[in-house]
């Protein structure tokens, strides 16, 4: 059986389960019970200015919010009141002298990647190839520059993943780093960098990474156990039980079965065409797959056979016809509510199921391409130059 399994990093007493992009990568926040309604004047507990950023998402662990801002700043914010506790620069000038002249300057997509943290340390990977680690008090543990070129003209978006005692990064290709030193444990040049973030999972008691490229990689040593055909262009894979789903225009589903310790068999389950461009990663819940295309098409698929159960056009409030909307934020499920955001600050709150009933429409004026984080009765949203905390007053 394959299940999501985020193994702890290190053995410090104050370390907690790692969190990163979309919580554990799945988009599920099962213990959350956030408000359904908010605006610039309603249910805003605090709003903190942290500077520009296009796509990175906040992560919350141990009462702290970690988030990046251009050109290369990592912020730590108090989750209770929004006070900035510390900030650290991660540019070429912050590297050891032997590396500082090699690293390129920051670009607008420099901080697209979302940080990861285990409650003891926080890890950040930047688009210019710089990776760094800080303890939660802001003391730098290490910083490294990887002289590896992006594989796309649009820069980098894959976020770091903490699992199986390692820090996994995709800079040109997949690498496993020692989280305490930043040194490479193994590297796998055959597994290419993509925009999507890998999913950590466990199959038949083996810790693996399910890559957007379709590769199944053993996390202990980087062995490529299997590969699905194709791969995702922008989004991240879905993993549920013993099955992997790659959801985009040409969606596929495979089940992995061990044939030997070093070779696994991907069994095709179904293929399905769902029109559109899929920047946002899909989400699975109770046998249903929810996906949203950049063309504002919302679809529900049956996870068993790929049947398209629902396709409808989304309507967002407060957006005029002359405003171009992009569906960059990935879908999230907080408690029993499905949240669908666009990059203009609009959010639909839906009741999952078939049919999927709309509950509320919300709007924050600045807009952003990242995904929200949920903790208990609060929502943490990056919007423009600000970090918002939403909760019932």
SS3 372: coil
**Separation CA 204–CA 255 (nearest Å):** 12
Residue in the structure block whose two tokens are 């770091």: 160
**Contact criterion met (CB below 8 Å) for 365 and 347:** no
SS3 301: strand
Residue in the structure block whose two tokens are 């004047």: 41
pLDDT in tens, 24-63: 999 999 999 999 999 999 999 999 999 988 789 999 999 9
The DSSP 8-state label assigned to residue 23 in this structure reads B
What class, spelled out in words, does domain 2-390 have in CATH? mainly beta
pLDDT in tens, 198-220: 999 998 889 999 999 999 999 99
**Separation CA 160–CA 379 (nearest Å):** 22
For the four alpha carbons of 213, 219, 222 and 224, in that order, the dihedral sign comes to negative
Residue in the structure block whose two tokens are 């952003």: 368
End-to-end CA distance of the chain, in Å?
43
What residues does each domain of the chain span? 2-390
- As to burial, measured by CB atoms within 10 angstroms (0-12 exposed, 13-18 middle, 19+ buried), residue 173 is middle
For the four alpha carbons of 206, 209, 214 and 217, in that order, the dihedral sign comes to negative
Residue in the structure block whose two tokens are 């996870």: 303
Residue 13 burial (CB count, 10 A): 5
pLDDT in tens, 357-375: 999 999 988 888 999 999 9
Q: What is the pLDDT of residue 155?
A: 82
pLDDT in tens, 125-180: 999 899 999 999 999 999 999 999 888 778 899 999 999 999 999 999 999 999 99
């Amino acid at each position: 059986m394959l299940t999501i399994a985020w193994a702890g990093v290190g053995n410090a007493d104050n370390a907690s389960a790692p969190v990163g992009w979309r919580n554990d990568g799945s988009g599920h926040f099962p213990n959350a019970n956030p408000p359904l309604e908010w605006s610039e004047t309603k249910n805003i507990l605090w709003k903190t200015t942290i500077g520009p950023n296009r796509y990175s998402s906040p992560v919350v662990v141990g009462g702290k919010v970690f988030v990046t801002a251009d050109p290369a700043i990592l912020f730590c914010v108090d989750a209770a009141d929004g006070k900035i506790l510390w900030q650290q620069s991660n540019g070429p000038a912050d590297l050891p002298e032997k590396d500082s002249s090699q690293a390129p300057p920051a670009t607008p997509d420099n901080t697209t990647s979302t940080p990861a943290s285990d409650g003891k340390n926080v890890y950040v990977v930047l688009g210019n190839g710089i990776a760094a680690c800080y303890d939660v008090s802001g003391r730098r543990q290490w910083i490294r520059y990887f002289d590896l070129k992006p594989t796309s003209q649009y820069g980098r978006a894959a976020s770091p993943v903490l699992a199986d005692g390692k820090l996994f990064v995709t800079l040109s290709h997949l690498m496993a780093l020692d989280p305490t030193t930043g040194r490479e444990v193994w590297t796998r040049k055959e597994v290419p960098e993509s925009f999507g973030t890998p999913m950590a999972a466990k199959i038949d008691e083996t810790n693996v990474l399910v890559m957007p490229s379709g590769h199944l990689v053993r996390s202990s040593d980087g062995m490529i156990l299997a590969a699905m055909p194709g791969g995702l262009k922008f989004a991240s894979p879905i993993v549920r039980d013993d099955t992997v789903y790659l959801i985009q225009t040409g969606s596929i589903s495979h089940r992995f079965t061990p044939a030997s310790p070093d070779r696994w068999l991907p069994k095709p389950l179904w293929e399905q065409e769902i029109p559109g461009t899929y920047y946002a990663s899909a989400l699975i819940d109770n046998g249903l797959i929810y996906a949203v295309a950049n063309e504002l098409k919302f679809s529900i698929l049956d996870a068993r056979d790929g049947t398209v159960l629902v396709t409808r056009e989304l309507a967002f409030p407060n957006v005029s016809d002359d405003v171009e909307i992009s569906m960059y934020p990935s879908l999230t499920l907080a408690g029993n509510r499905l949240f669908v955001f666009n990059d203009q600050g609009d959010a639909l709150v839906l009741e999952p199921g078939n049919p999927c009933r709309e509950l509320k429409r919300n709007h924050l004026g600045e807009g952003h391409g990242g995904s929200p984080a949920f903790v208990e009765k609060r929502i943490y949203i990056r919007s423009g130059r600000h970090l918002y905390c939403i909760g019932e007053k």
